[in-house]
Structure 1
Amino acid sequence: MANTYSQLYAHVIFAVKNREALIREEFKEELYKYISGIVNHKGQKLFAINGMPDHIHILLSLSPDCPLSELVREIKKSSNGFIKEKGLSKFPFAWQAGYGAFSIGASQISKVVNYIENQEKHHTKKSFEDEYRSFLENYQVDFKDEYLFEFFDN
């Protein structure tokens, strides 16, 4: 649409089904490159991607003609197929239903990139459940425990 200008940034978080630790160090870089390709192919920009064996964080910018829900659906569907096709996991792999998406401003990009790049260090102090709940609370997202990711830490 002519004369439409926007700059939208989203920090997206999603988990492996049942929060199983299936994203192994040996293939995570290949997986992240594949996901980056999906984002680029859709005409969007990826700023950072990283995670832990049981979940993933992505910071990206979106154009107004790309619904976030469709992009995340494509990322999860295609990367799931990629993992299976390449035989990257010795166990059945699937992403858990749902995801978290949190908007940020341009002034927060470097802070969020740093946060994503340092996931391993961050999770020595905080569990994924605590991290995810903190995001929901800090962004004032109404949620019900029964609809959150399946947490088995307790």
Structure 2
Amino acid sequence: MLYMHTAQGNAMDMNSGSHMVYRLYTHIIFVTKYREKKFEDRTLNTLESILRLLCEKRGSKIVEFNGESDHVHFLLDYHPDTSVSQLICILKSGSSRQLKLHHPELNQFAWRKNALWSTGYFVCSVGGVPIEVLKKYIEQQDRPH
């Protein structure tokens, strides 16, 4: 990590790579298919571990994670070479497959498409929002017990 000072004198964490210094964060939300209430605390814990591992393998890092019974929020720190849309595709498919192995009760009935996630997602660059504010927002999600 490289630390740089802004004009106000505050230190901010920066990542560095070959011939570059960067700080890229994005807020991502995945929603369950049909907005079904599928998650409990234990499934969210498993999902968080799976997503962290998938991100780590692709040079990204989850800074904050939380969710409710029908959706999850996470704050992602990623490399400039990363295509966010491709990473989201990998995270959704990989997490769905692995989470169903750990929690078979998440599998759908035969007459329904066996998809965990809705086809859409929310992604937003968070360059203008203080990271601590966004982390607090994600922490305050009404996580099921």
TM-score relative to the length of structure 2: 0.75
| Identity %, equivalent residues | 29
Contact 1:49–1:57 (CA<8 Å) still a contact in 2? Answer: yes
Equivalent residue number for residue 132 of structure 2: 110
Displacement of 1:60 in angstroms is 0.9
Structure 1: tracts of 5 or more residues without a match: 122-154
Please state how far the C-alpha of 1:28 moved relative to its aligned partner. 1.3
Check conservation: 1:83, 1:89, Cα contact below 8 A: no
- 1:82 shift after superposition: 0.9
Equivalenced residue count is 121
- 1:95 corresponds to which residue? 117
When residues 26 and 45 of structure 1 are mapped into structure 2, their CA distance, relative to the original with a 3 A threshold, is: closer
- Measured in 2, the distance between the counterparts of 1:117 and 1:54 equals 16
The normalised TM-score by structure 1 is 0.71
2:98 corresponding residue in structure 1:
82
In 1, Cα distance between equivalents of 2:129 and 2:30: 24
Structure 2 Cα separation of the partners of residues 45 and 14 of structure 1:
17
Measured against aligned partners, the alpha-carbon deviations of 1:27-61 in whole angstroms (never above 9, x if no partner) come to 21111111111111111121001110100101011
Structure with the largest fraction of helix: 1
Letter in 2 for 1:113: K
Work out which of the two has the higher radius of gyration on C-alpha atoms and give 1 or 2: 2
